[in-house]
Homo-oligomer: A and B are copies of this chain.
């Protein structure tokens, strides 16, 4: 009998890229075995996909409720230990909630819910269930992001005095200028995507990343969002001024109309001793800047890195790893938690990250709608 963690999957069938990402990530460290799930609401597609990826089909269920019902009938040592939710956003909340209430551990894609209210409810649910809940802010799994976090926690930058995140994409550009396309893209439809497109989709990554690496809390924000067309309901670009704990200031610049940008997520943290810079499209380079010193470029796998970072690279320096490896690291951390092994809190994002992210989205929209004024981000625990 395998001692791998029994993993169920919700969604992620067909051509889903997020499905590929989670399946590969889960398999990377020999820690998980996919035992079943619901890949698709249409039964033929669901079972067909399971066959296509050569899964045993006995635990492919017709729908989510059946999955919960049937799995609960199984003895606990056979039952799914954790379920990954990769479904459309509006399903995250009800699925996660029911799973938690029934004692399952959960891995949830972002955004965690469609509203901040739901996020807080989920947090309350988790407190009762005492299971494990992880949200996949994938970029936090990169070894050099982890190194950034550890260096800052260890005081290598001194007191932080400026934080700066840029997340620029261009993919909405060809969509937004066509009236029909912008009316029919789900990302721009509040019914499907919530109240925000750009801030919700990528701004939250920036928000989470700044808190992850700096150890600061973002306490209040002032947002200026851009919708470009009056008939467009969702922001597709925005700048957010930040006030963080310890009176640190900063900014998040996001855009999905930065034409020609692919996935340009750049993070810069400056302290009174040194600064650090990281770019997602070149994730294996971390730039350390000090007054009057040569720029230093840190790379994964070197012994000068922290244990948290080293734990996130599999090969010696000079062998580039990428985003699949980053997600694999997050799954690896979750496995440690499931298996009651010691782990570093930087190994995977938790529900608090998810709740704060939802708070950020709503507050950014609120700040904008009130005329670009400061609004507070609630504290959550």
> Which residues of chain A have a CB within 8 Å of any CB of chain B?
2-4, 17, 20-21, 23-24, 27-28, 30, 33, 51-54, 56, 157, 161-162, 164, 166, 168-170, 173-174, 177, 222, 224, 226, 228, 237, 239, 241, 249-251, 253, 255, 257-264, 268, 270-275, 280-284, 288-299, 302-304, 314-325, 372, 374
Which of B17, B54, B174, B298 is A291 in contact with, Cβ under 8 Å?
B174
**A320 contacts which chain B residues (CB < 8 A)?**
280-283, 320, 322-323
A162 touches B257 (CB 8 A): yes
B4 touches A33 (CB 8 A): no
**A239 contacts which chain B residues (CB < 8 A)?**
239, 241, 249-251
Which of B53, B164, B304, B318 is A169 in contact with, Cβ under 8 Å?
B318
Say how far A235's CB is from chain B's closest CB, in angstroms.
11
The copy count of this chain in the complex is 4
B3 touches A290 (CB 8 A): no
B260 touches A318 (CB 8 A): no
User: CA–CA, A371 to B138, complex, Å?
Assistant: 36
Say how far A10's CB is from chain B's closest CB, in angstroms.
18
**A174 contacts which chain B residues (CB < 8 A)?**
291
**A162 contacts which chain B residues (CB < 8 A)?**
226, 237, 255, 257-258
**A224 contacts which chain B residues (CB < 8 A)?**
222, 241, 249
Say how far A160's CB is from chain B's closest CB, in angstroms.
10
Which of B17, B30, B258, B324 is A275 in contact with, Cβ under 8 Å?
B258
User: CA–CA, A51 to B2, complex, Å?
Assistant: 8
Return the chain B residue nearest A298 by Cβ: B294
